[in-house]
Amino acid sequence: MLHQLITRETIVFKDFVSHWKEAIRVASFPLLKLGYIEENYVHAMIHIIDQLGPYVVLTPHVAITHARPELGVNQLSMSLLRLKESVSFGRGKEVHLVIVLAAVDNHSHLHALAELSNLFSREENIQTIIQSDEPEEILSIIRRYSNGVGLD
């Protein structure tokens, strides 16, 4: 499932961004371009973090941003932004990897989210992705954790 959502077309490489809001916009771009989300969804993700703080930083170096499906999701999708230099999400939360999760309901994304969580539970996977400059290297890791593969 995860390998069907994060694809070559939805991975973005950037050395740095000036602000976490820019990180969300850059990470969202592939999904906007593909028509999977609307611009309103990007604004909603930023607004939620403005209101609630950096709750989207689930593990060191990794943020998974999202908003309500009715705020502009057209299709279940994910994108991944890899930053060489971290960006601060506030409160000491430094992030190199920004995942945009666009869910169409409350359940269809849960399997992929579990796979992503398992992948990010290993620090070596996070570091490999941060150091990567090639989509295929990231996709190889993702494939190992898709459909239950890579589970301990």
- Classify strands 77-88 and 11-14 as parallel, antiparallel or unpaired: parallel
Question: Per residue in 73-87, pLDDT tens?
Answer: 999 999 999 999 999
Please say if 47 is a catalytic residue.
Answer: no
Options 3.30.230.10, 3.40.50.970, 3.40.930.10, 3.30.2130.10; which CATH number does 2-147 get?
3.40.930.10
Residue 148 to residue 144: CA distance in whole angstroms = 8
Catalytic site residue from 66, 107, 109, 111: 66
Residue 151's pLDDT band, with cuts at 50, 70 and 90, is very low
Question: Per residue in 103-127, pLDDT tens?
Answer: 999 999 999 999 999 999 999 999 9
**Domain ranges within the chain, ordered by starting residue:** 2-147
What is the pTM assigned to this prediction? 0.95
Range 52-58 contact pairs with CB under 8 angstroms and sequence separation of 24 or more: 53/90, 53/91, 54/20, 54/89, 54/90, 54/91, 54/93, 56/89, 57/89, 57/93, 57/95, 58/117, 58/120
Give the distance, in angstroms, between the CA of residue 72 and the centroid of all CA atoms in the same chain. Answer: 17
Residue written as token pair 């170096």:
61
Q: What is the pLDDT of residue 147?
A: 73
Residue 152 to residue 149: CA distance in whole angstroms = 9
